[in-house]
Structure 1
């Protein structure tokens, strides 16, 4: 099964460098990496070019769109449309990966399911130390970890505590995986979402409405979330309304989705 790793980013080169480093040191590499860039400057482009030069056998695609505010749904749709992999793993540009991250996700991939991986929260001072050292070396004993138990990597514990769920609590596209065909069946992410918040939950609702079940992975597929200030919540009222409508109407399809790029209308490059 082929796998595309998609990384969303916006003007945070320091973090993206660390994320890409963690990608290159995986026990099992993805078939390709696609950067879903929501309008970053040339500095981000340079980071990606340097990574491509240093890792010539790992295909990397830079999917860029104009900076017109927070448009994560559009950015992800453009990237997914470019993906050649059967299986899509989504992370954010501030998510560093455990060395077994890709291998874990693929081991849990199962038709009829999408998967939510495990997230470890890295505090501010540790994030700064990581940037200064220019390397990632985190474990259970690292000082500056909030939810320490999530650092434990264990097949045995994962088999005991990984569960199937049918609700939205804990849904985060910073560590989410699904089959591309299932994404296309619901027309991808809803681009009516502009500004931070709820586009990930609404996407998951439509997957559930389509009949795709949720699998929460514990103690495997571990990602370290670097500290950053919270995004503005100014768009939440309108985004909550879109989510509420999807839930109440039991929607599967969104009209403003990925299909426009599949028809060859994507001209971001």
Structure 2
């Protein structure tokens, strides 16, 4: 399993994520940082982790030319070695069983959509100041607590399979690399914030995969931050709707066009 962590100019958050990954009960085979143009501070942070990290840690970087998350994720996944990919964001701290849970729910013919709990601004600031990575259902400053409850015993009740791409977020997602290649990965043309994950998921659905919604496992805690500019969202919604209505499977500007 390859873990892809996307980031942009927030090394304090990325540090907590990497500490959380290093503390996993089951480690991924490798970690790839998909860096959409961060500066020197992020580069130095990753370098400081590389010599002591328990698994290979790659820094996949591209120049800062605006919000190009789709493109940098394509580049990172192109460099990945494992057959299965798990994605998180560089501001979402994985609970210590996160990778173990994703390995458990991975299934041929499906992609996984996980959820996340949200940390309040105060809890996020304290986590960064204290380098805190351990949270639980009763931790103060946690919102959407139903998303951070973990129960291996009850996990079958937290799994639901669907044939739609709604409410898919790349911050907690798992899929087979061969399926990603089949649909030509993310759509590089979707620059700016919004719906690049749903658009990929819609093409997964068109290719015959099912969305596997997972709760009670694969828990993560999202650090609070300001929302990115959403000026491109209306255009992205049109692209997404076209993929759904025209049943498009492979985008024309994706991983193969890098």
Q: TM-score range by the shorter chain?
A: over 0.9
Contact 1:101 1:220 (8 Å CA) reproduced: yes
Contact 1:157 1:218 (8 Å CA) reproduced: no
Q: CA RMSD in A?
A: 0.9
1:121 counterpart residue number: 118
2:234 counterpart residue number: 237
Contact 1:32 1:58 (8 Å CA) reproduced: yes
1:32 counterpart residue number: 30
Size of the aligned set, in residue pairs, is: 258
Unaligned runs of 5+ in 2: none
Contact 1:29 1:102 (8 Å CA) reproduced: yes
1:188 aligns with 2:185: yes
Contact 1:9 1:36 (8 Å CA) reproduced: yes
1:50 counterpart residue number: 48
1:163 aligns with 2:160: yes
Unaligned runs of 5+ in 1: 262-269
The match for 2:18 among 17, 20, 34 is 20
SS of the aligned residue for 1:184 comes to helix
State the Cα distance separating 1:169 from its structure 2 match: 2.7
Aligned mates of 2:183, 2:28 — CA distance in 1? 24
1:154 aligns with 2:187: no
List structure 1 runs of 4+ shifted beyond 6 angstroms.
none
SS of the aligned residue for 2:186 comes to coil
Aligned mates of 2:105, 2:180 — CA distance in 1? 17
SS of the aligned residue for 2:93 comes to strand
Aligned mates of 1:133, 1:159 — CA distance in 2? 35
State the Cα distance separating 1:118 from its structure 2 match: 2.5
State the Cα distance separating 1:149 from its structure 2 match: 2.2
1:267 counterpart residue number: none
2:251 counterpart residue number: 254
Aligned mates of 2:91, 2:59 — CA distance in 1? 17
Offset from partner CA, 1:159-205 (integer Å, 9 cap, x none) = 11211012233210000000000000000000110100011110000
Q: Could you state the TM-score of these two structures normalised by the residue count of structure 2?
A: 0.98
The match for 1:68 among 65, 70, 82 is 65
SS of the aligned residue for 1:36 comes to strand
Contact 2:167 2:198 (8 Å CA) reproduced: no
